[in-house]
Structure 1
Amino acid sequence: MEFSYRKIVIMAIKDYTICRGVDYWVIDVILFQMYQYALGCNWLIRVSMIRKKYCWIIRRYNGSHTCTRSTIFQDHSKLDSNTITVAIKPLVDIGPSIKVKSVITELLQSMVSKEKVNEKNFRRLESIVRSFAIWFETMCYKESSAVVHFKTMLAYQDDDLVIDIRILYRVFWSYYSWIKAFRYCKLIV
């Protein structure tokens, strides 16, 4: 398949993945590698810019997903306002008499459910970070030569500082014997 603009390629891939309930990560500017959330699906698509034709072409496509879902998830990571706008615009172009209130209520319901899912995930991550500090202290107590330094950052929700919540930023973990032996290592060029 050939596409004239990069934005059209990205929208086509977004539509494809949202409809199948899968997610993907962008590996490079011209290489998209798609992965399914579930284990066992390693779907790959490679899109390249052909300079002679000045178009985007799908170079590699290793078949359909092995794990697909039949419904669209409201909390899909690639479902943003631009994608929703592109989906709604043809409906409005065809029938301008469509009731705006019905579209707004559906969008509000999906946004509320997405916020609930995000809040649930945030609470789960918060408990995991708290357990990290306890785990670090336990390991240092159990193994006296262990050295653990970790840094945290302040947590913000929108532009507001969230009190009593810190975000794990960086962890340095080593043992004293490793640090001592590192002094005698030769430089490798």
Structure 2
Amino acid sequence: MRRFLLLSALALALAACSGHTVHRVEVDLLSFVPQGNRSGELSLDNLILRARFPDDPGGQPVPVPGAEALLGGRIGLKIRLENTGTTPASVDLKVRLGPANDTDIYDGTGGDILAQSQSLSLNPGETQTLDLSLELQPNTPAFNLVKSGNFRIGAELSLSGEKVRYELTQGEVVLRLKLFNLIPNP
């Protein structure tokens, strides 16, 4: 009998703790960008003033099973930049999100949004890392798109200047989910 009471108390304690467990889901966005497209050069000479990750205007679809249990999260990108030109350059990075059915998340229609943008200025010969981090907070447009359970994401790097080499070194989506929120209350 004593063993039964001990096991019952332990089972109840574990059940109570598991209801408060928050799960972390990580999506490595770099795995969706081919190795050859992770680096390159934006150049006025070659009329290549923009790069997209991934290259598809529809962005990368990201299904999130159980997204209705979303508590928050973060989207992060890091791009190493080097001004290889002879004049100062400015580089803009924009992260866009859209619903699953949007075929062009860069056109501003169909429900897509500019989730975050960041700029960086580089002198000739200078190297810097552009580090963009977007916190997903409840009741924001970005959070609501992710919470829909099936969204698209993409990033666009653009140049104002002569020449800049770039290398995408990190891309991730980290979500915090409380999966026990999926269990209906009677």
Specify if TM > 0.5: no
Higher helix share: 1
Q: TM-score, normalised by structure 1?
A: 0.20
Which has a greater percent of strand? Answer: 2
TM-score, scaled relative to structure 2: 0.20
